[in-house]
Each structure stands twice: as C-alpha cells, then as structure tokens.
Structure 1
C-alpha cells in the first residue's frame, strides 16, 4: 500500500489542485473540520459507494489517525483502485481545513 505523510499530502494538493481526497471518518468527525475539497464517505459506507469512485483516478484516503484510511486503502486496492493512505491522519494535519 502506498502512503504519504501529511506534509507530503499538503505539498501534493498544492501542486495538484484536482487531487481526489476521500475522508473515511464519520460525519460528526468531519463536521469538526476536513481538508478543503475532500469528499466524506464513512468507512462503513465505502463498499456501497464504490460506483461513485472514479477508478481512473488516484485517491488519497484520509481519517483521524491513518488506521481507518489504511483499511479503506486495502479495500479499494483489492478492487483495483489506485490509492494512497495519508499516514498520521487529521491528528497530524497542519494545513487548511473547512
């Protein structure tokens, strides 16, 4: 599984403003702040939302600490998606939030 630190993701987003970010935290967690442009798909709903995720794109998976996004990354990788797990999650995120 590919992964990036929060700092690497911040740089990646700056250079790729169209980057696909999927935040797998629960809705109430996301309400406290998310990375601008991230789409919230709670981990428990991810399998049901697979048709909504573009297989031709690379997706950065985000959660609170990196554990749930790691599970989401494995689930998507097993189904042929190109994903990157954000290590450290939002606990280590120092960039903008909305």
Structure 2
C-alpha cells in the first residue's frame, strides 16, 4: 500500500513520540482521540487533522504505533464505528524502521 501511495496512514502515538520519528505521510491522531476524531463530521475532521476523513467503506485505512499494541486498540475502536475494512500495522514503527535499514 505504501509503494502505491494508496494508504490513509494514522499514527496513534502521542505527539511527543512522533517528534522522535514517524512513517512519512502519516497523520497523528493519538489513541485517546481516535474515537471522538472518527465521530467528527468530515469538515471538522479536516479542520482538526488536516486530512480528509476516511469513508467507512475504505480499505486503505491503516493505524500504527510503536509496536502494534495501541494500533490494535485503535483498529478495534474504528471497527466499532463502522470502519470494518480498516487495518493496523502489527509491527508498528519499530518494524518499519528495521525494514527501511535493509
């Protein structure tokens, strides 16, 4: 998905953590804001996060965190809100960094 550019990538770590590195193109929505954020109207979502709000039917929504635990919680939250095709990056930023070094 990353290679095609067809991914809506959401980093659910805290802003302080994002300062230390992130996957390019990701939007930071801390885990504690995921539920309320994804309940916002599209215009409010764009105003708050500076990206378009995903559609519930989108299959290119991916959540990630440092190692995959918080992103799993974010995924469960999103699915409960109707984003049934959303996914999470199991290995998180740690795995992504390791793969980039190869």
Fold similarity call, TM over 0.5: yes
State the 4+ residue runs in structure 1 displaced beyond 6 angstroms: none
What's 2:87 paired with?
Answer: 84
Partner of 1:54: 54
Q: Is the radius of gyration larger for structure 1 or structure 2? A: 2
- Measure how far apart 1:57 and its partner are: 2.3
Match of 1:70 in 2: 72
Between structures 1 and 2, the one with greater strand share = 1
Tell me how many residue pairs correspond in the alignment.
84
Question: TM-score if structure 1 supplies the norm length?
Answer: 0.77
TM-score, normalised to structure 2's length?
Answer: 0.75
Structure 1 residue runs of 5 or longer lacking an equivalent are: 1-11
Name the structure, 1 or 2, with higher relative contact order (CA <8 Å, separation 6+).
1
Q: CA deviation at 1:24?
A: 0.2
Residue matched to 2:2: 13
C-alpha RMSD of matched pairs (Å): 1.6
